[in-house]
Amino acid sequence: MVLRDATQADVPVLVELWADVLRRVGTEDQEADLRHVIERLDPALERIVVAEYDGQVAGAVMLKATTATPLNLEPLVQAVSPHVLPAFRRRGVGRALMEATVSFAEERGIGHVGSGALSVSRDANRFLARLGLGPQAVLRAGATATVRSRLDALRPGQGRGRAISQVLAARRSQRHRDASPASKG
Ligand SMILES: CC(C)(COP(=O)(O)OP(=O)(O)OC[C@H]1O[C@@H](n2cnc3c(N)ncnc32)[C@H](O)[C@@H]1OP(=O)(O)O)[C@@H](O)C(=O)NCCC(=O)NCCS
C-alpha cells in the first residue's frame, strides 16, 4: 500500500469515493468542487491523503489542523471523511489512513485527532471507537426553511395556535355570510 497526496488527476475517483459526503449536485459540479478544494489546500494545515492498493486508488481522507471548536482552541487534527472503496475494505486501508492522520498530528505537536461517522454506520463507528475516538457530539442539520417554519410555529400566538384561530375566524365569517340577507335566494 502507498500513501500519497491527492492530485487533480484523482478528482474523478475521489468523487466516486466521497459521493455521499459531497454536495447533492451533478458529477461535473462535484468534480469542480473537489478541484477547487485541492487547488486551495493550505499545505501547512491541510492535506488530502490518497491510499493506493496494488496501484489502484482504494481510499482517501482529508486532514485539517484546526481547533476542537471555534470556541475551544485546543488544537486538533480533523480526519474528514476517511473512506475506503467497498472493494478494498477490511485490508487495513482505513487503518493506514488513520495512521497518516496521527502522523500529521504528531508532526505538528497536535495532541488530539477527531473524525466523524454517520450515526447509522455501525462499521464506521466501531472502526473509530476501536482506535480510541470516543463520541463527543451529535451533529444535527436541517433545511433553513424547515427550521424557520418550526420556529414560527412555536412562537406564542403563531403557528398552530394562529392556524386554529384563522380557521375559526374563517368559519365565523362563513356563518355570517350564510346568515346575511344578500346570501339568501
Ligand atoms: C470505516 C472504513 C473507513 C474502514 O476502512 P477499512 O479499510 O475497511 O478499514 P480496515 O481494513 O483498516 O479495518 C476495518 C476492519 O477490518 C479489519 N481488518 C483489517 N485488515 C484485515 C484483514 N486483512 N482481514 C480481515 N479483517 C481485517 C480490522 O481489524 C477492522 O475491524 P474492526 O472494524 O472490527 O476494528 C470503511 O469501512 C469505509 O469507508 N466506510 C464507509 C465510509 C465511512 O462511513 N466513513 C466514515 C468515517 S470512519
Can you tell me the distance from the alpha carbon of 119 to that of 166, in angstroms, rounded to the nearest whole number? 41
Same-domain status, 124 and 177: no
Same-domain status, 151 and 104: no
Q: Is residue 138 part of a domain?
A: no
| Residue in the structure block whose three cell numbers are 494545515 | 45
Q: Is residue 155 part of a domain?
A: yes
Same-domain status, 77 and 156: no
Q: Average pLDDT for residues 24-29, to the nearest whole number?
A: 96
Can you tell me the distance from the alpha carbon of 30 to that of 28, in angstroms, rounded to the nearest whole number? 5
Q: Which amino acid is at 185?
A: G
CA of 113 to the centre of ligand 1 (A): 18
Given 130, 156, 171, the domain boundary residue is: 130
55-59, 78-82, 134-138, 142-146, range with the lowest pLDDT: 134-138
Same-domain status, 148 and 124: no
Same-domain status, 126 and 155: no
CA of 24 to the centre of ligand 1 (A): 26
Q: Is residue 139 part of a domain?
A: no
Same-domain status, 21 and 103: yes
Domain range for 163 is 144-183
What is the reported pLDDT for 65? 98
What is the reported pLDDT for 175? 76
182 has pLDDT over 60: no
Same-domain status, 53 and 124: yes
- Mind listing the pLDDT tens digit for each residue in 142-168? 999 999 999 999 998 765 555 666 677
Q: Which residues pair with 84 in a beta bridge?
A: 59
Same-domain status, 82 and 104: yes
Q: Average pLDDT for residues 21-42, to the nearest whole number?
A: 97
What is the reported pLDDT for 80? 97
Same-domain status, 12 and 78: yes
Same-domain status, 126 and 152: no
Question: How many domains, the chain?
Answer: 2
Instruction: Give, for ligand 1, the residue of 56, 84, 88, 121 to mutate: max count of ligand atoms closer than 8 Å to Cβ.
Output: 84
Nearest atom (ligand 1) to Cα of 90: 11
Same-domain status, 9 and 33: yes
pTM listed for this prediction: 0.84
57 has pLDDT over 90: yes
Q: Is residue 84 part of a domain?
A: yes
Q: Average pLDDT for residues 1-15, to the nearest whole number?
A: 98
What is the reported pLDDT for 135? 92
Same-domain status, 173 and 109: no
**Mean pLDDT taken over the chain:** 92
Can you tell me the distance from the alpha carbon of 154 to that of 121, in angstroms, rounded to the nearest whole number? 33
Q: Is residue 137 part of a domain?
A: no
Phi, psi of 7 (to 5 degrees): -125, 170
- Mind listing the pLDDT tens digit for each residue in 99-121? 999 999 999 999 999 999 888 88
What CATH code is carried by the domain that includes residue 122? 3.40.630.30
CA of 23 to the centre of ligand 1 (A): 25
Q: Which residue's C-alpha comes closest to atom 44 of ligand 1?
A: 124
State CA 175 to chain mean position distance.
53
